[in-house]
Amino acid sequence: MRAPTSSDLPPELEALFPHVDPATHRLSGARYVASPNCDDRPDPADLSLLVIHNISLPPGEFGGPWIERLFLNQIDPAAHPFFATIRDLKVSSHLLIDRRGAITQFVPFDRRAWHAGESKFDGRARCNDFSIGIELEGADDHGFEEAQYVQLARAARALMQAYPKITADRITGHSDIAPGRKTDPGPRFDWTGFRLRLEFPR
């Protein structure tokens, strides 16, 4: 039997936290909007990495509809000069956590979302095959909101319980699996604080 850890909670408290529905592979409490930017995983049972990103559209601006539109292939290239440069991108994370901590899910966790691109973790390439991607609405030079850390830790905890191959040492940043190409979640992301929240949920 596994020894209890500080993250084990009594069942009545556990019920207050989000969880993954094992039938639908969706996170409770998340708004669900289906993105087409996903496909089958080569091995659906191999789900063993969590990748944290940041995104804002236009870059550095928060609160608009554009991240969701990008993930739905509905970006309006005329709405901002930057959008013309990303009009043909086909991308989506599994989850997006906005600046207020609201979570939207775009892809069921058992499907392969197109979030990491060319990437390598622990010597293994094509991280999309075996990872879940979470985007935080943000930018490399901005701090993240308290509500985002709270919700990220709750979501990560639920994912670790649903997919036990995702261990604390298999939660990484996009910049770590695509160095030189990607910089998110950026230097302002508080890894120490985030890992503490995983240990001591609230």
Residue ranges binding Zn ion (CB under 5 A):
53, 174, 184
Name the residue nearer to Zn ion (CB basis): 53 or 94.
53
Residue 4 Cβ, how far from Zn ion at the closest point, in Å?
35
Q: Which of 149, 150, 156, 148 is nearest to 132 (CA)?
A: 156
Beta bridge partner(s), residue 49: 131
Closest residue to Zn ion, judged by C-beta, is 53
The type of residue at 114 is W
Q: How far is the CB of 10 from Zn ion (least distance, A)?
A: 36
3-class SS at 53? strand
Collapsing DSSP to helix, strand or coil, 25 comes out as coil
What sign does the CA torsion over 76, 78, 83, 85 have?
positive
Q: Determine how many CB atoms are found less than 10 A away from the CB of residue 102.
A: 15
The residue among 151 and 201 lying less far from Zn ion, judged by its C-beta, is 151
Please list the residues that pair with 27 across neighbouring strands. 20
Choose between 112 and 174: whose C-beta lies nearer to Zn ion.
Answer: 174
Least distance in Å: CB of 130 to Zn ion? 16
146 classed as catalytic: no
Nearer to Zn ion, 26 or 53 (CB): 53
> Could you tell me if 59 and 70 are in contact, meaning their C-beta atoms sit under 8 angstroms apart?
no
Distance in angstroms (rounded) separating the CA atoms of residues 54 and 40: 24
Helices (H) and strands (E) in the chain, counts: 6, 12
φ/ψ (deg, to 5) at 89? -65, 140
Query: Of 68, 135, 137, 145, which one is the catalytic site residue?
Result: 135
53 or 197, CB closer to Zn ion? 53
Catalytic residues, by residue number, are 135
